[in-house]
Amino acid sequence: MTGAFRTASGGRIDRSKPVAFTFDGQHLSGFSGDTLASALIANGIHLTGRSFKYHRPRGILSAGTDEPNALVGVGRDEAHYAPNLRATQVELYEGLKAESQNRWPSLKFDAGAVNDLASPLLPSGFYYKTFMWPAKAWTKFYEPKIRAMAGLGRAPEAPDADRYSQHYAHCDVLVVGSGPAGLAAALAAAASGVKVMLVDEQPEMGGSLLASRDASIDGKPAQQWLADALAELSAADNVTLMTRTTAFGYFPHNMIALAERVTEHVAVPDPELPRERLWQVRAKEVVLATGALERPLVFPDNDRPGVMLADSGRTYANRYGAKPGKRAVIFTACDAGYRSALDLAAAGVEIAAIADLRRNPAGELPAKALAAGIEVRPSTAVTGTSGRLRVSGAALTKMGEYDFGATQQIACDVLLMSGGFTPSVHLFSQSRGKLAFDPVLNCYVPGTSVERERSAGASRGLFELGAALEDGYAKGADAAKAAKGAKAPARAFAAQAPRLGTDGHIGATPHNRNPAFAKAFVDWQNDVTAKDIKLATREGFRSIEHIKRYTTTGMATDQGKTSNMNALGIVSDALKTPVPQIGLTTFRPPFTPTTFGIFAGAARGELFDPARQTAIHGWAAEQGAIFEDVGNWKRALYFPRGNEGMHEAVARECRAVRSAVGIFDASTLGKIEIVGPDAAEFMNRMYTNAWAKLEPGRLRYGVMLREDGFVMDDGVVGRMAPDRFHVTTTTGGAPRVLAHMEDYLQTEWPDLDVWLTSTTEQWSVIAVQGPLARQVLRPLLEGIDLSKEAMPHMSVREGTILGIPTRVFSVSFTGELGFEVNVPSEHGRKVWEAIYASGQKFGITPYGTETMHVLRAEKGYIIVGQETDGTATPDDVNLGWAVGKAKKDFVGKRALARASMSAPDRKQLVGLFTVEPQTVLEEGAQVVADPKAPVPVPMLGHVTSSYHSSVLGRSIALAVIKGGRGRIGQKLFVPMPDRVIEVEVTEPVFYDPKGERFDV
């Protein structure tokens, strides 16, 4: 069965290609070219959902993006399930599985519909009024229950199995919308020779022309003209045509976001193609030809399935060959309703009557309807409908000068309504363009532009075919000229189509029903009635922004596409205030709901963020290392053996370094090569230390301050030559330090002949630490004498290792004799493996960052960012010795001279011993003098680092404590949730305080 409501012929569906699908498990059939909505209508089905709040039965209202009711869940399985899709935009494909939403147990019998009976208890703002007490019940009870009842679709539970991609593109002229105005604009821009993109959200280009029955352009039927125009555009190599592509966001500097649906409409998608693509298009000029949306009429019971927008009804008949019913009543305030009546009559639908709000409908289309024998009732309103799951009749009431006349019930199975058209100004408004109210059309049209764009055709209120074509061509030519100074040839369009006029209606229509019970819907998706909006005005709301939030009108996923102007009309009427004075709510992106996937793109799982690996990573991974994230780096945290946990592994690694030798990958250290005749002068200005006298071949520990005098970074610096320094920084600080230096160089000291080059990734850094380090390295090095005399602590030598050039630093971050072997990173692993092999007979032990942390803490070495927090001076962390007092200047020097920077009660770095030696303090824990002091207890400082030290057989901690150096020897307290830990303040160097182990 392909549908009892199919027309005999016509439409853009392919009748040779039937397509089977299911809706709520029911097996149905449509044709290729159908949407889910048109296929349902062809099968006589209008009931597609239950409403948000009252669970009222709802049908298909529109034929496009503005659909508020027919929201469905679609997907072959949980991993491909998408909720809340508009059935009017879901293209039919073989095997499509769709289900209705917000109903239980079934669409036809929904338990939630009891809400409709209780509707007098659910006025606007009822959330705010009712669920006030007790406060806790809101999150625990009310909100979950309300959300479950007042729901849209369900979120899928399986991870999204689809792929999404993201693309950047550029063009001279971007045309949004391919109706008559957009096509004409694209033709003009294309003829100018500029680079054009024409995008349209529908599967086919053409917009309103796709539903045209009797219009003609240039002497051809409109649909033939459309085919020719598209052929012309496709043949031009300066034009890109994109269908199924929604321009959903207009961002600054003409950045337009497009969502392209690539495989959504295909039964068996190509696995190599993404489901959707995000396009970020930078367009020199934009033409917005986004068309207009038909306004519904707000009358009692206007939400029954079978009540539709008139032009949508016409679209189903003409474009999809699907008759929306057998017998129609039309309710209209403009001539468009007559066009629908005539087209539906031509498709074989009986037109029972046309109720026209106007007293004297006199246009070309009403005349045609009368001539066709259709019953036209002027000054007549629909004041109610009957039927339960589908409209079965309409109440037509004659309106007199001062009162209502007789009401007549007329049987029908579809009721079409038209209040006129509202220009789609969403993208214009998103671009921050200023809207202007058009009192003739009773709607807002684009006013002053902010971005380089212009609107064309119906999107600025030009609804007649000829005017839209002419305007579109002019705007396309204007855009091409503005983009590239290109000129379009003159072109005229001879369009013939019945005139629609400018009539229309906003606000509620008159009725004679009891206003306490009549439900005339303004916002279908959020279940807001005219009564709700009037109530809000009676409660004192004046601004449309407030009324919107109080009543929730226009706040659903359709962003008020059908409701905004009618809500304004009702408020205007209730407050006796002209529409422009009530304001207009803001249009926000996205124009239509957009998947999360498109924003994630490929940035999922492993590719979410770069996982930076050193050259030695593979070796460490093969050894079973456990890694930690340090910035974007993966660093080996420890190397467990057998069933070791972290504590056992770290204890073993620490012992190995202290008693024999360990090997550590320090490649992630930031490195900057500072070269030039003024290199030493530059170093003098950037660091607190004095550099002039540092001889080539020597190392120095450097401290860098920010301008405010606080420690920014530290690192060991090697002087390779009089004009060349090898600077190291913290792992996380490398880019920041380079930018800081480059900033000073470019803005403050451009006269200095010195240049900076990042060498972080040039070098693999292999730290060999421990009393046996020299024995391990000695056999491998060429051209470097490692002896104590030739290479003292804190020196650097160049030579080769395995024939590879190397810079060897004698440096220690462990307190033991140590070397850091720098080799070009492409050889890092090879050299590492050679050193590891050479160290085998000495028990060389690979260690990770955790052991490194423990060893340095035993020596009281700080970690910038752990012992410092951006408010520590060098003296606070016992680095006063590194500040060159005799130096004329350096970054931060002036700030250090402020009185508060040397106040005696500043927080100073000290050590802490727990009185109970096996207790390990928690990092970040607060330190107090008297835990029993009244709250708030004065805080003295906090624990910055805390470990178990295996070499000391007890816990150690570093802390910053107010006036800490003066408290050494005192007992202080660390209050924890379950107990108070007593600690003794100590010197911060716990192991080998004299530094005798460097030179073993």
Partner 1 sequence: MSEAARVSGPDLGHGHPYPGVSLAALAEGSKPSASASLKLLPATARLVFRGREAAIGPAGEAFGVALPREACRFNTNGTRSVLWLGPDEWILLAPGEGPAPLFAAIETATAGLPHALVDVSSRSVAFDLSGPKAGFVLNQGNPLDLSLDAFPVGMCTRTVFAKSEIVLRRTAPDSFVVDVWRSFAPYVWQLLEEARRGA
Q: Is 629 in the site for partner 1 (CB under 8 A)?
A: yes
Query: Any contact of residue 633 with partner 1 (CB under 8 A)?
Result: yes
Q: Which of 97, 154, 265, 282 binds partner 1 (CB under 8 A)?
A: 282
Residues 718-737 that bind partner 1 (CB under 8 A): 728, 730-733
Which contiguous run of DSSP H or E holds residue 846?
A: strand 845-846
HSE-up (13 A, CA, CB side) for residue 61: 31
Q: Does 849 bind partner 1 (CB under 8 A)?
A: yes
Instruction: Enumerate residues 851-870 that contact partner 1 by CB under 8 A.
Output: 852-854, 856, 861-866
Interaction of residue 243 with partner 1, rule CB under 8 A: no
Min. distance of Cβ 621 from partner 1 in angstroms?
Answer: 5
Of 511, 617, 658, 906, which lies in the binding site for partner 1, with binding defined by CB under 8 A? Answer: 617
Measure the CA–CA gap between 391 and 161, rounded to whole angstroms: 41
By the rule CB under 8 A, 314 interacts with partner 1: no
Nearer to partner 1, 541 or 638 (CB): 638
Q: Is 157 one of the binding residues for partner 1 (CB under 8 A)?
A: no
Residues numbered 42 to 101 that lie near partner 1 (CB under 8 A) are: none
Q: Which DSSP helix (H) or strand (E) runs through 371? A: helix 364-371
Helix axes 180-192, 465-484, angle to 10 degrees: 30
- In the block, residue with structure tokens 């100004």: 425
Look at residues 219, 132, 230, 155 and name the one whose alpha carbon lies nearest to residue 187. Answer: 230
Is 646 among the residues that bind partner 1 (CB under 8 A)?
yes
| Residue 613 binds to partner 1 (criterion: CB under 8 A) | yes
Interface of this chain with partner 1, residues 254 to 273, rule: CB under 8 A: 270, 272-273
Structure tokens belonging to residue 948? 């178990």
- Find out whether 54 and 120 touch, Cβ atoms under 8 Å: no
Residues 17, 170, 434, 778: which binds partner 1 (CB under 8 A)?
170
Site for partner 1 in 190-219 (CB under 8 A): 195
> Is residue 161 at the binding interface for partner 1, with CB under 8 A as the rule?
no
460 binding partner 1? (CB under 8 A): no
Query: Does position 309 bind partner 1 by CB under 8 A?
Result: no
Q: Would you count residue 251 as binding partner 1 (CB under 8 A)?
A: no
Residue 223 as a binder of partner 1 (CB under 8 A): the answer is no
Report the distance separating Cα 171 and Cα 184, nearest Å: 18
- The one among 24, 375, 438, 923 contacting partner 1 by CB under 8 A: 923
From candidates 412, 425, 479, 811, binder to partner 1 by CB under 8 A: 811
Least distance in Å: CB of 561 to partner 1? 31
How far is Cα 539 from Cα 106, in angstroms, rounded to an integer?
38
For residue 473, the Cα-to-chain-centroid distance in whole angstroms is 35
Helical segments of 377-507, H only: 426-430, 465-484
* DSSP string for residues in 883-934: S-TT-S--TTHHHHTSGGGG-TTSEEEEEEEESSTTPPPPTT-EEBS-TTSP
Does 586 sit near partner 1 (CB under 8 A)? no
Task: State which of residues 157, 237, 401, 606 lies at the interface with partner 1 (CB under 8 A).
Answer: 606
Shortest Å, Cβ 637 to partner 1: 4
Residue 588 burial (10 A CB sphere; 0-12, 13-18, 19+): exposed
Nearer to partner 1, 103 or 719 (CB): 719
- The tokens describing 96, both together, are 């499509």
b/e per residue 182-220 (b: at least 16 CB within 10 A): bbbbbbbbbbbebbbbbbbbbebbbbbbbbbbebbbbee
Indicate whether 952 belongs to the interface with partner 1 (CB under 8 A): no
Q: Which is nearer to partner 1, 506 or 694 (CB)?
A: 694
Smallest distance, partner 1 to C-beta of residue 806, A: 12
Residue 190 makes CB contacts below 8 A (sequence gap 6+) with 196, 232, 233, 236, 238, 239
- DSSP single-letter state for residue 310: H
Among 614, 688, 873, 878, binds partner 1 (CB under 8 A): 614
Q: Is 880 in the site for partner 1 (CB under 8 A)?
A: no
**Scanning residues 358 to 397, which ones bind partner 1 (CB under 8 A)?**
none
Q: Which of 52, 813, 832, 890 binds partner 1 (CB under 8 A)?
A: 813
Indicate whether 827 belongs to the interface with partner 1 (CB under 8 A). Answer: yes
Structure tokens at 651: 């204890």
Q: What are 414's strand-pairing partners? A: 328
Q: Which of 18, 193, 799, 824 binds partner 1 (CB under 8 A)?
A: 824
Q: Shortest CA distance to 614 belongs to which of 761, 767, 802?
A: 761
Give the nearer residue to partner 1 in terms of CB position, either 281 or 522.
281
Residue 169 binds partner 1, judged by CB under 8 A: yes
- Least gap, CB of 617 to partner 1 (angstroms): 5
What does DSSP say about strands 781-782 and 404-411: parallel, antiparallel, or unpaired? unpaired
Least distance in angstroms from the C-beta of 723 to partner 1 = 8
Cis bond leading into 936, ω under 30°? yes
Q: Binders of partner 1 among 22-41, rule CB under 8 A?
A: none
Footprint (CB under 8 A) of partner 1, residues 670-689: 673, 675-677
Q: Count the site residues for partner 1 by CB under 8 A.
A: 93
Q: Which residues contact 686 (CB under 8 A, 6 or more apart)?
A: 704, 741, 744, 890, 891
Smaller CB separation from partner 1, 421 or 619: 619
Tokens read off for 912:
């802490």
Q: Does 762 bind partner 1 (CB under 8 A)?
A: yes
Distance between CA 691 and CA 673 in Å, rounded?
Answer: 15
Amino acid at 899: A
Stretch binding partner 1 (CB under 8 A), from 4-12, 56-64, 774-782, 818-826: 818-826
Between CA 488 and CA 499, with CA 493 as vertex, the angle to 5 degrees is 135
Q: For residues 374 and 636, which CB has a smaller minimum distance to partner 1 in the complex?
A: 636
Identity of the residue, 467 or 921, whose beta carbon is nearer to partner 1 in the bound complex: 921
Residues 6+ apart with CB under 8 A from 752: 676, 678, 681, 682, 745
Torsion of CA 677, 681, 682, 687, to 10 degrees: 150
Say whether residue 916 binds partner 1 (CB under 8 A): no
Q: Which residue in the set 87, 293, 297, 920 belongs to the binding site for partner 1 (CB under 8 A)?
A: 920
Contact 763, 726 (CB under 8 A): no
